[in-house]
Amino acid sequence: MCLGVPLRIVEVKEGNIAIADMGGSTLEISTIFTPEVKVGDYVLVHAGFSISILSNEEAEEIISALGELER
């Protein structure tokens, strides 16, 4: 089973690369599958690739569900 994690984009770089916030840490990800991504967008990330852009509501719902799994 694969798990995608919602992260917020904090910087968009050249070459289909972006920096995403991961709970206070940053992670460089590929945006090859989501080239239209903008700063502030939430994206679903799997294996270092942004695989879809999420609405804020979708991201918050997933983050909440993942938080419940940690309990």
pTM, entire model: 0.88
Strand (E) positions, 1-71?
A: 5-13, 17-22, 25-30, 42-46, 49-54
Domain ranges (residues) in the chain:
5-70
Residue 22: predicted pLDDT: 87
**CATH no. of 5-70:** 2.30.30.140
- The predicted-structure confidence for 8-19, as pLDDT tens digits, reads as follows 999 999 999 999
Average pLDDT over residues 62-69: 84
User: Is a pLDDT exceeding 70 seen at residue 1?
Assistant: no
Average pLDDT over residues 40-68: 94
The encoded tokens of residue 47 equal 């294996």
- The predicted-structure confidence for 19-44, as pLDDT tens digits, reads as follows 999 889 999 999 999 999 999 999 99
